[in-house]
Amino acid sequence: MKIKTVYFAAAITVAFGVPSASFGYDFPTNMQVSMERGPEPLYKLESSVVYPIESYFSVDMPNGEKDYVLEQNGDGVVPLVQEGDRLLIQRPVSIGDEFYFAPNADTSTRPIRLVLSGPINIGHIHFAPGSAKLSDSARIVLSEIANQMKTSGLNGAYLVGRTDRSGSADANLALSEKRAIAVAKYLNRFLDDLGMVGAEITYESMGEYESNMREGSTNPFDRKVSVMLYPAM
């Protein structure tokens, strides 16, 4: 498993399968399964937080027909729950899964595209003032982040260390790096325990750079390491 420093700012878009628009049928259209961060935290302990990775199925049905099912990896029908104009998939989704629209014979043998747009900001690990030591709550949140990586197949973690503005810019940059390294090492340990092969952890230290506070002012929510997940190639 690799841990390294990285300077990584651009978003990514990953698509799997064949876009439904290429089917050539008037009905149905625009089918896709998306992987994204859920709207509500899975765990929030002190100021550390982790969000779930959720997946949605969307399809345009011009005649309003709803007598259809979604199948995953040939393992039977996927349970779906309506949420707004999309359907929440009530089962874990992993990179590499294949989904099929049934029972339409024209589409049931063609995989629906699985889309992930950019790294998923899954949460952050909070730190005490001037410290790079992980709290007990931070370790619990990191263990859940590792579980989310294992379940989703998102085997890349991009960490960004940050600080408040209570120290000098140089000292804060060094502290943010220590925080990112502490998170990387502990996350790596959890992934090893889960037997996750091929994971890649990268980190960047940004110090006080993105703090919105004035010089000398502090915001406790700036003392963190943000965690973003993506599929490492």
Does residue 123 sit in the same domain as residue 67? no
Does residue 35 sit in the same domain as residue 139? no
Q: What is the pLDDT of residue 29?
A: 75
In degrees to the nearest 10, what's the CA dihedral of 132, 136, 137, 139? Answer: 70
158 token code pair: 């991009």
Q: How far is CA 225 from CA 20, 74, 138, 159, in A?
A: 38, 39, 10, 6
Question: Of the candidates 56, 84, 117, which is a domain's last residue?
Answer: 117
Between residues 104 and 65, which one has the greater pLDDT?
65
Buried b (16+ CB within 10 A) or exposed e, 126-147: bbeeeebebbebbbebbbbbbb
Pairing of strands 29-37, 53-60: antiparallel
Contact 144, 42 (CB under 8 A): yes
> What angle is formed at CA 39 by the lines to CA 147 and CA 213, rounded to 5 degrees?
95
Q: What is the pLDDT of residue 137?
A: 92
Q: Above pLDDT 90, what percent of the chain?
A: 53
Does residue 89 sit in the same domain as residue 146? no
Q: What is the pLDDT of residue 26?
A: 53
Question: Of the candidates 101, 117, 133, which is a domain's last residue?
Answer: 117
Does residue 144 sit in the same domain as residue 161? yes
Q: What is the pLDDT of residue 59?
A: 84
Q: What is the pLDDT of residue 123?
A: 96
Question: Of the candidates 67, 98, 117, which is a domain's last residue?
Answer: 117
Does residue 113 sit in the same domain as residue 155? no
Rounded distance, CA 161 to CA 226, Å? 7
> What is the span of the domain harbouring residue 148?
2-7+118-230
Does residue 140 sit in the same domain as residue 93? no
**How many domains does the chain contain in total?**
2
88 token code pair: 């929440």
Q: What is the pLDDT of residue 103?
A: 57
- In which band, very low, low, confident or very high, does the pLDDT at 5 lie, cut at 50, 70 and 90? very low
Peptide bond into 119 cis (omega under 30): no
Rounded distance, CA 12 to CA 116, Å? 8
Does residue 82 sit in the same domain as residue 165? no
pLDDT (mean) for 47-63: 88
pLDDT in tens, 145-160: 999 999 999 999 999 9
Tell me the pLDDT of the chain averaged across its residues: 83
Contact 120, 151 (CB under 8 A): no
pLDDT in tens, 72-118: 887 778 999 988 878 999 999 999 898 988 755 555 567 888 999 78
- In which band, very low, low, confident or very high, does the pLDDT at 20 lie, cut at 50, 70 and 90? very low
Does residue 128 sit in the same domain as residue 75? no
- Residue 75, SS3? coil
Q: What is the pLDDT of residue 12?
A: 42
Residue 189 sits in a domain of what CATH number? 3.30.1330.60
pLDDT in tens, 186-206: 999 999 999 998 899 999 998
| pTM for the full predicted model | 0.82
Q: Report whether pLDDT(54) > 50.
A: yes
